[in-house]
Structure 1
Amino acid sequence: MTTHESGPGTKTGARPADGAGFDPGAEFDRQLDRLLALGYPGLAGRTEAAFTALVRPLRETVLALGPTMAAPSESRTPFLLVVDRTLAPVERTVPLTTLDGSARAGVVDRHYPAGDIERFVPVEGLGLPRGPVHLLLDADRGEEFCGVVPKDAMATVAGRGRSPLTMEEGIAFVTLHPRALARNKCFSLGASRCGDRRVPALWISQGAPKLGWCWEGNPHSWLGMASAGGRAGATS
């Protein structure tokens, strides 16, 4: 694994609404606007209109699920728009992440040699929806697993009928809900693996998000295990 530094997170950009007045449709629009502002259409080789047309069908899914959704909190959010690396490569989306209240760009740890990230693929049985964009549902940064061996944390998550996050889903979490990544409340991404003992993780280094990895058998007091309640694609 690599070294890490944690720093305070403050506010950047528009936040998801907290409390009883949560509007799933407005939150979808906020997330889409954020992706547009960050230049995701360009990463995907599409115009803003074409990118919006690709993502917009997921709004109907959000509205259909809306009555079951709880409002976001610092550590949890009811849904996230996730863009697959086939549209937006991980090495180019990580630098678009920031901590809450900071403009310092995220980085990929140097312990990922050239071409290594491509080896980390979704684990079998994850049930990712078809297509280059999907919804991650009921995302939780999993701070209860800080100090727990990652392999054991993943087993507990599975026993609850939940699943860990992929690299892309973790990047979406920090991109669209940046306060989830906070000092001593960082998280592993156990659903992207490459066949060895490394587990990807997002933590804070020099005031910015960092995509690194830790060994599956080594616990860290500052590193939890993010998980989700499900995933969904467009309704039609």
Structure 2
Amino acid sequence: MPAPVLPPVTDQAERLISLGATGAFTPDALRSEAAALPDRPGLLVVGGLRPSELAPLMRRADRPGFVVEDMTDVDDFAPVAEVPDAAVWLLADPDRGDLLANASPAEADARFTQDGRTPMLLTEGVQWVLQAPEVLERNSCFMTIGSRVRRPSGRFDARTPAVWISGGTGRDGRERKDAAKVGWCWWNNRHTWLGFGSGSARLAG
């Protein structure tokens, strides 16, 4: 499906304020930051927000979102894509990457480099779902390969984060069926139902 049409960033700021997802900003400060961003379509992103705190704010099927139980280090997934030196920015032209479904994260990353796009961060992906829950569809969700965990050895962890819909099985629990969830996949694996979130640029005010 085409990417959901996002409201103006000033309206997106009000949405985050209503959810209490403003980070270190007061409501008025976030409004001011949002108003200073470039006037073009895109996703308002507040930097420094923890995925563990954002995930429960997602709502789907009248259920709160969650992080899978074996991802206790979810907040350690840090940006590997270039991020502005700013606390708030605009992710221009966010896309779910359906055309890359069944590619591996490594292949998708190479495609983004070729096409001049930037992979979505995990926190961007969750904030996208906060603004547009309909971006998650059964059998059409997305990875956020702009965030990874670097081990003490300097090598990347083999996992890559993703945002999708719980089937209510296993440790998720039946009560979470159809809820939005943050989980992980292996870097070299392919999934027919997962695209790759990306944007055309990150723009600060």
**TM-score, length basis structure 2:** 0.83
Aligned partners of 2:183, 2:28: CA distance in 1, in Å? 30
CA contact (8 A) 1:28 1:62 kept: no
Match of 1:163 among 118, 121, 129: 118
Paired positions, count = 186
Match of residue 45 from structure 2 = 82
- Aligned residue for 1:170, secondary structure, equals helix
Match of residue 172 from structure 2 = none
Deviation of residue 119 (structure 1)?
Answer: 2.3
**RMSD between aligned residues:** 1.8
Match of 1:111 among 34, 52, 70: 70
| Structure 1 residue runs of 4 or more that deviate by more than 4 Å after TM superposition | none
Match of 1:204 among 150, 158, 165: 165
CA contact (8 A) 2:33 2:88 kept: no
- Aligned residue for 2:106, secondary structure, equals helix
Deviation sequence 1:147-171 (CA, Å, 0-9, x none): 1122111111111000111111111
- Aligned residue for 1:214, secondary structure, equals strand
Matched, 1:57 2:28: no
The 1:35/1:183 distance shift into structure 2, 3 A limit, reads: same
Q: What amino acid maps onto 2:185 in structure 1?
A: C
**Any gaps of 5 or more consecutive residues in structure 2?**
150-155, 167-176
Deviation of residue 51 (structure 1)?
Answer: 3.1
Deviation of residue 127 (structure 1)?
Answer: 2.5
Identity %: 35
Match of residue 9 from structure 2 = 28
Aligned partners of 1:131, 1:218: CA distance in 2, in Å? 33
Deviation of residue 52 (structure 1)?
Answer: 2.9
Match of residue 148 from structure 1 = 103
Deviation of residue 55 (structure 1)?
Answer: 4.4
CA contact (8 A) 2:12 2:131 kept: yes
Aligned partners of 1:140, 1:110: CA distance in 2, in Å? 27
Match of 2:56 among 69, 84, 95: 95
Aligned partners of 2:75, 2:130: CA distance in 1, in Å? 20
CA contact (8 A) 1:55 1:133 kept: no
Deviation of residue 89 (structure 1)?
Answer: 2.1
**TM-score, length basis structure 1:** 0.73
- Aligned residue for 2:63, secondary structure, equals coil
**Any gaps of 5 or more consecutive residues in structure 1?**
1-14, 18-25, 67-77
CA contact (8 A) 1:142 1:187 kept: yes
